[in-house]
Amino acid sequence: MGDRQWHHYQIGVTRLRLASVVEEIITHFDYLYRQFRVTDSGPDALWLEVAALRPKPWSRTQYIVRSSGREFFAGHETGSIIPELEFALNQQTILRNPQYLIYHSAAMEFEGQGVLLPADSGTGKTTLTTYLLARGWRYLSDELGVVDPQTWMLHPYPKAPCIKAEGLALIEQLGLTVYPHDGFRLRDKRQRFYISPTQLGRQAIAPAVPLRHIIFLGRGQVPGPYVEQFSTAESTMYLYRTSVNPMAHREQGLARAIDLVQHCNVWAMALGDHAATCPFLEALLAEHDHHPVAPQANPTIKVYQPAEPLCETS
C-alpha cells in the first residue's frame, strides 16, 4: 500500500484512509467529509481503495471498491462508486467495532440527551433528521446508532445524510444544498444525493452523549403524529430486530438490549407531516427527561392505542 496516495479521516468512531485511481472520487469524498480530515489516521485505520482493472485493451475499465482484503463492488460506471464506498464504510464500521451495540437507526442529541430513532428503510428517518437539525438538534448519524453497553453513551458516526430523489423538495425548503446536483446513480439507475456534514457546521455535530430516549419511527393507521408506549418485552424485541451486529455479543446481546430499554424512555411514534412531528417530538422528550412515566399530563402529546402495533415484525 506504500505507493498509493492516502487521504486520512476520522468520522466519529471510524478512522479511515482512502485511496483512489479515479481522482474525482477523492474530490467527491473530500467535499462530503473535509471537516473530518486528519493528518494521519494511524496504522490500524480502516482502509478503502478504488482500483481499476482492464483485462484486455479493448475491454471497458472496471472499477473495484476494496477494503481490508474484501471486495465490495465491481462495475463500469464511476457514478456508482461513492454510494458503494458509503456502503463499504458502513459495513466495515460495523465489523470493526464489536465493543459497541450498533443499530440501524438515526442518532441525534436534544438538549444534552441522546435520542435513538430506529426505522425501516424508506420510513423517512433521514428527512426527519434533517428537519430536526434545522430546529437546533445536533447530529450523530442518520444510519448507525452506536451505543457503548458499559456506559450507555451514544457515540457519533456522522456520515453524510443520503437523500432519495423524492425527498429533494423538502430538503431544499430548508435551504440546504444536496451534492451533487445531478445525483450519483446506483447500479439499478436510482439516484442518490448527499448533504455534507460540513454544511451543517461544526457545532451541529454532537460528541458522545448519554442515551436517554429510543423512539421507533413508523407510519400509523391514522394520521400522526402520536405515540404508543411499549412494554419492556416489546421494546426489547423491536430494538433487537434493528441490531446490525447481534452476533458480536453472542449470548449477551439480548440481555444488553433488555438493560438498554430499561435504561431509556421507549416509544413508537407514528410520523405526521414534519411541521407537526418535530414540535410533537420535542414536547414528548421535554416531558420525559429520563425515567419512563405516562405522558397524559401534557395535553399536546397524543397517546393512541391502535389495534395493531406501529412496528411490524415481518
Indicate which CATH number applies to the domain containing 271.
3.40.50.300
CA 206 to chain centre: 14
Domain shared by 81 and 20, yes or no: yes
**Domain-located, residue 182:** no
**Domain-located, residue 241:** yes
Domain shared by 31 and 135, yes or no: no
**Domain-located, residue 234:** yes
In which band, very low, low, confident or very high, does the pLDDT at 176 lie, cut at 50, 70 and 90? Answer: confident
Domain shared by 219 and 155, yes or no: yes
Domain shared by 87 and 140, yes or no: no
pLDDT per residue as tens digits for the range 110-148: 999 999 999 888 788 888 999 999 899 999 999 999 999
**Domain-located, residue 18:** yes
Domain shared by 46 and 139, yes or no: no
Number of domains within the chain: 2
pLDDT at position 192, please? 87
Domain shared by 150 and 214, yes or no: yes
Boundary residue ending a domain (46, 64, 95): 95
pLDDT per residue as tens digits for the range 281-295: 999 998 876 554 433
CB contact at 8 A, 7 and 30: yes
pLDDT at position 298, please? 37
Boundary residue ending a domain (80, 95, 110): 95
**pTM (global) more than 0.85:** yes
**Domain-located, residue 304:** no
**Domain-located, residue 16:** yes
Q: For residue 215, give the nearest of 311, 82, 83, 313 by alpha carbon.
A: 311
Domain shared by 105 and 82, yes or no: no
In which band, very low, low, confident or very high, does the pLDDT at 188 lie, cut at 50, 70 and 90? Answer: low
Domain shared by 131 and 14, yes or no: no
Q: Which residues contact 254 (CB under 8 A, 6 or more apart)?
A: 236, 240
- Residue 223 scores a pLDDT above 70: yes
**Domain-located, residue 228:** yes
CB contact at 8 A, 128 and 110: no
Please indicate whether residue 70 or residue 116 has the higher confidence score (pLDDT). Answer: 116
**Domain-located, residue 281:** yes
pLDDT at position 3, please? 59
pLDDT per residue as tens digits for the range 232-270: 898 999 999 999 998 888 778 788 889 999 999 999 999
Domain shared by 87 and 109, yes or no: no
Boundary residue ending a domain (95, 120, 150): 95
pLDDT per residue as tens digits for the range 75-90: 888 888 999 999 999 9
pLDDT at position 161, please? 92
In which band, very low, low, confident or very high, does the pLDDT at 177 lie, cut at 50, 70 and 90? Answer: confident
The whole domain housing 207 covers: 101-175+199-287
Q: Which residues contact 198 (CB under 8 A, 6 or more apart)?
A: 31, 32, 33, 34, 35
Domain shared by 23 and 135, yes or no: no
Domain shared by 106 and 90, yes or no: no
Domain shared by 14 and 146, yes or no: no
Give the burial string for 65-85 (b: 16+ CB within 10 Å, else e): bbbeeeebbebeebbbbbbbb
